[in-house]
Structure 1
């Protein structure tokens, strides 16, 4: 079964809203054996919405629309779906009654425009909206059909996880697709590909690399008659990838570097503090975004100015004068200083040039030092990074997390 997504809303075309809903659906489809080949985005214009729906129906079995189900004049999805399928719109009395009751309970004024949310194409199946006033719906005509979902995220996500999953389960036919994503750090995409080059030519399961700032993801996808059979196809390939890449594989699927690091620290009974310059608190942010991080993460210092490096962290002034703020010795002393200041078992210091200015032939933009100070060892890693200011910062943070992971994971 093939499906096409049509995202509706002028705000999407203008870049005022980023369409994350289509990505959510794209990740869901393989579970139901659905092939997703096309995606369109269209503004709030009836003629263009109809054109998009008719094009989608000309090349896909099912179409899923997102947005345009509200009560306003520019919420055009329901009438466009009905017209594209040549079906009449009918007022659903139960939905209208529920809407009126909801407005009365909230003591909100009822307007005739609200009743638009109770209009549905003939024979449409309703998809319950737990967090909003506009139900979604699915309507079939012959071998094809259209599913319409609301745009607001707090309405869209529960509808996808509940009613949509149930509806798609009833449509499931043939093969299912299952994916497993291995997450790699401390190894570039080129080297990772070189080590698994022959595996990239496999057909079922397939292996595909995706580079992210500071990380490489390897997605293994299998198709089979059942989820269990697909997982059985993935297992030996995953084992082989892990064998070839070794400790560079830090997790799978939704695992993150920060989660992995914090869990390692927790298991080892170690605490951590960080001192940051060019990353501006980004490392501390990544760590504290994980629930429960306070068990092992004590805190951080953003030492952007040299005065803070000296006065708070205890970096030696003559070292700054002689070596410069971006140097191996300063990174080491930043790590030592924040460890001493907080009483943490491990201290990490990051100093570098994120750009776009500030570089020189001797110390170019992208030069970053990450210092590590622990109970058993101290080290400094030099990075030569490229990309935008934000990319350099993100890659520096990931490198720092990976340095902690490797040092803590390798400890006795």
Structure 2
């Protein structure tokens, strides 16, 4: 079964907004056994969107549009789908009343243009929006299924997970199963080449590799006569990948790295604290995005200036003067100070140059030292990352978490 994704918004074309929605939906579609034929980004322009829809009609069975369902004149998704399918727009009075009530309960008055959100192509099934005012819809035309969902990421995810997925599962008739293998520490291209010999002879297996913030997600989707048949196909593939890449694999259950750290700490009854410089609290923020993390995460320090490193973590002034704030020695003293201050079982320290300024030939932008201590020992490792400031910060955070994971599992880091 073939699918296409159309992301709508001039802000996406101009680079003012980063598209994370299609990444999420594509991953879920593959998990359900769909083949992604196209992923398009089109502006808020009627002709371009109609052309994009017609192109996807020629290649796909399912089309998912994201965005363009708001009340303003540049929200043209409803109009474009009506034009492309030949199903004229019709007012849904129940939805109109619901939108009026929703807006008036929040803002006291409802602007007249909000009625646009209550028009849908004839024959549409409404997809409720639990947190926003713009409902989505499903329309079937030209032997295609077109799902229109809103662009704000939280609204998109809730509608896709709660409404669209149930429809998609009804479409796939052949039994399928998808497993996700979460990996860190390997490059996308080299990893894909290295697993080709494992997968190439399995015609019933589709795989995808998705890279984000230095991490890889490998999805394996297999089809067969029944679940037992599918398991017999997937198990030897998974076992061989585990055999080759054990220390790089942090989850076979689709967990995030920070979730895996949480579970590891909880299993061992350990606590964690952090000391950050160039990441400015991002590590603590990522950790506290995990529900229940307070059971293992006590807190963290953001010691951005040299003075604060000296004051809060007892880093020696002489260490910074001799070796610099970005050095193995400073990262180690941050780690020691963190342990003395917090008395947690484990800790992570990060100091580096996130850029784009501040680098030198001896210490270029992207140089980061990460320290980790656990009950079994303490180490500081040197990393060299590349890219814009935000990417360097993200890579520092996730490599710090991975360094802790390896230490907790008694595995050697390969950097």
TM-score, structure 1 as length reference: 0.83
CA change 1:273–1:119 in 2 (3 A) is closer
Farther off after superposition, 106-115 or 4-13: 106-115
Corresponding residue SS for 2:315 = coil
Query: How far is 1:338 from its partner?
Result: 1.0
Please give the residue correspondences for 1:34-49 in structure 2 after superposition, counting only pairs within 5 Å.
34-49=34-49
Q: Is 1:346 matched up with 2:349? A: no
Deviations for 1:8-31, whole angstroms, at most 9, x for unmatched residues?
333333344444333333233235
Contact 1:348 1:400 in 2 (8 A): yes
Unaligned stretches of 5+ residues in structure 2: none
CA change 1:297–1:95 in 2 (3 A) is closer
TM-score, structure 2 as length reference: 0.82
Deviations for 1:138-162, whole angstroms, at most 9, x for unmatched residues?
3333523433334445544343233
Q: What residue number does 2:369 align with?
A: 369
Q: What residue number does 1:241 align with?
A: 241
Contact 1:32 1:176 in 2 (8 A): no
Deviations for 1:42-83, whole angstroms, at most 9, x for unmatched residues?
333333333333333233334333333444444433343333
Q: What residue number does 1:180 align with?
A: 179
Please give the residue correspondences for 1:75-90 in structure 2 after superposition, counting only pairs within 5 Å.
75-90=75-90
CA change 1:178–1:106 in 2 (3 A) is same
Farther off after superposition, 115-124 or 309-318: 115-124
Query: How far is 1:32 from its partner?
Result: 4.6
Contact 1:201 1:207 in 2 (8 A): no
Query: How far is 1:268 from its partner?
Result: 2.0
Q: What residue number does 2:217 align with?
A: 217
The structure with the largest alpha-carbon Rg is: 1
Q: What residue number does 1:287 align with?
A: 287
Q: Is 1:168 matched up with 2:138? A: no
* CA distance in 1 between partners of 2:101 and 2:356 (Å): 58
CA change 1:243–1:150 in 2 (3 A) is same
Corresponding residue SS for 1:59 = coil
* CA distance in 1 between partners of 2:211 and 2:102 (Å): 48
Query: How far is 1:407 from its partner?
Result: 2.0
Unaligned stretches of 5+ residues in structure 1: none
* CA distance in 1 between partners of 2:318 and 2:96 (Å): 76
* CA distance in 2 between partners of 1:299 and 1:101 (Å): 43
* CA distance in 1 between partners of 2:275 and 2:100 (Å): 57
Corresponding residue SS for 1:138 = strand
Corresponding residue SS for 2:264 = helix
Across the aligned residues of Structure 1 and Structure 2, the Cα RMSD in angstroms comes to: 3.4
Farther off after superposition, 385-394 or 97-106: 97-106
Contact 1:351 1:369 in 2 (8 A): yes
Contact 1:33 1:176 in 2 (8 A): no
Q: What residue number does 1:393 align with?
A: 393
Contact 2:349 2:370 in 1 (8 A): yes
CA change 1:172–1:401 in 2 (3 A) is closer
* CA distance in 2 between partners of 1:329 and 1:105 (Å): 58
Corresponding residue SS for 1:274 = strand
Q: What residue number does 2:157 align with?
A: 157
* CA distance in 2 between partners of 1:384 and 1:105 (Å): 53
Contact 1:199 1:207 in 2 (8 A): no
Contact 1:31 1:176 in 2 (8 A): no
CA change 1:115–1:222 in 2 (3 A) is same
Q: What residue number does 1:310 align with?
A: 310
Farther off after superposition, 198-207 or 100-109: 100-109
Aligned residues: 410
Q: Is 1:198 matched up with 2:191? A: no
* CA distance in 1 between partners of 2:390 and 2:114 (Å): 45
Query: How far is 1:335 from its partner?
Result: 0.8
CA change 1:338–1:57 in 2 (3 A) is same
Please give the residue correspondences for 1:22-41 in structure 2 after superposition, counting only pairs within 5 Å.
22-41=22-41
Corresponding residue SS for 2:241 = helix
* CA distance in 2 between partners of 1:187 and 1:313 (Å): 33
* CA distance in 1 between partners of 2:353 and 2:134 (Å): 51
Contact 1:336 1:347 in 2 (8 A): no
Deviations for 1:65-104, whole angstroms, at most 9, x for unmatched residues?
3333444444433343333223344444554565667678
CA change 1:409–1:358 in 2 (3 A) is same
* CA distance in 2 between partners of 1:309 and 1:111 (Å): 53
* CA distance in 1 between partners of 2:209 and 2:83 (Å): 42
